[in-house]
Structure 1
């Protein structure tokens, strides 16, 4: 079994950009948190939402379950009023009826949170924008009658949460690869907003809402109401927007007693196995990181660094890292990647004694255990399915 005997992050000083990246990520998170207050959440309400998100993360099931799911109209979440929760339930319920995968529900909720905070505005205040999604009749929204006898005006139709949700999903499903792309990117393709990146800040909370309303549907892969929730395999995207980077048994774990500086887990897979992006994001690192300066050969226990590796920034201050590739990665810094996109192939470059993928997950720059992190997102590591 291949293991690393030195921490992958022990790169030569001039090649270690972690401190700067951590400051940038923390800065983004502080700005995002402040923006929630600016959007109308009082400090007390904001605290309630944050606590709900923490509780959800702590109580997230490990694995994906096998139970069917229904929308729970009676769920309570601190920080959201009854009308907001009812509107959230309507959005999810419409998605179920249309057989939209749970990833679509997360995107729809994040969009409605940004556009209206889940309040159904029946009177236009921003140009002619109305409803949960602030859709505009002048842009063509609402022109199609719901039924042959629907005589409502476009604005009246868009003020109907069920109608507005259905129209959002219809346009969402027409976007190529929508379930693998960054939430902000695909939401923007539907909405055409002046501030496209603002949708992304709601992704974690929208995932929480889906899980609370459906008892965990965002934790796995599921197609229609009543279907069992399945764990994701490479190429399958959970409702939370995550997938397994590579299928294989876990070797060295996260910070074991004999290796407390091991900041990730080692997934034991054959050389040349394709490594997939665990979630959509932007590549922030793609380079050779070895004390020898050569990543085109196998490393060893005396070599420091990750070898050929990739790091991706996701939403909400999350990053993932993929080390020891056999050759130069397939992606470049600044490139946007979709969930499941090939990043490179497994090798043994850098601080490695045999082929494997060293995989890290980080929150605001700090390493966290990838095992519960990925399990809570419906993409458990260490399985062969």
Structure 2
């Protein structure tokens, strides 16, 4: 007796399904064999592509992971950091360098006055640089023109619409920061990173003092910076990389704290706006023989013995400087500018003593001032 019709249909369906499953398994095995052995010739190509991705993306990913020093973390406004990072990533510039430019130009937008040269905005661009020097009478262009993205692109300006609101305005923070990154990137010429950075900064202001000031902040902002870019000539270094402005000289003067007349001043004073907290570096190689608060009026004082009976004094530091016994090199950071002790404002009091007697420091530092 044959099987019922329904049972025959079920068996037929099972056979078809089972056959299909076996075929699928065979196909899967073929694909596995292909993936295992057929892709072997492609491995060099895959490895090359992976390497290219690493080369392209790793620098971009890591450049924004620079750790800040304690000074950088407490000085750079936290709300600005993401803007620096985004602009730096877009144009391939270290974001801390952009922060240093912003600090030097307008003290993080705290001073937005138009400069004596006519520079405007958060990072002080000349209108012609922002709009494009080829634009007729660019220096007197109205806002409707120098913020127009199409006109800027046409005339090769550096203005950028960083916040995406349809205009490139140097008075808007994001636009200004992005434009700074773009300008630095365009002027990064040279063989080494330091050379590229120096050339880019110089292009921004065309002054050697400006380059040193920006690089000083750049090093101060970076974790483990410590090695400030100091000006070194031979085996000597200028003690305050931030400025060369002298406010008082060796000799008889009226004491600024007591008002007493005819008082001997045993050193030179170095000071300028914004100097507070900037690095002080060793004038020459030597050993630190004194580093503490001095009750005689010097405030926090560091003394370095350079041998041959020559010592240098660094007074009124912000806090205790490099420890006693430290062996230092010319240009090495030994402390930070402050106003401790008998002082009327932030400055470095710098002395040179020979056989224990204070002498005029000018002959020692004059190579840096001529």
Class of the TM-score when normalised by the shorter of the 2 chains: 0.3 to 0.5
Higher helix share: 2
TM-score (norm 1): 0.32
Q: Which fold has the larger relative contact order, with Cα–Cα distance below 8 Å and residues 6 or more apart in sequence?
A: 1
Which structure: larger Rg? 2
TM-score (norm 2): 0.33
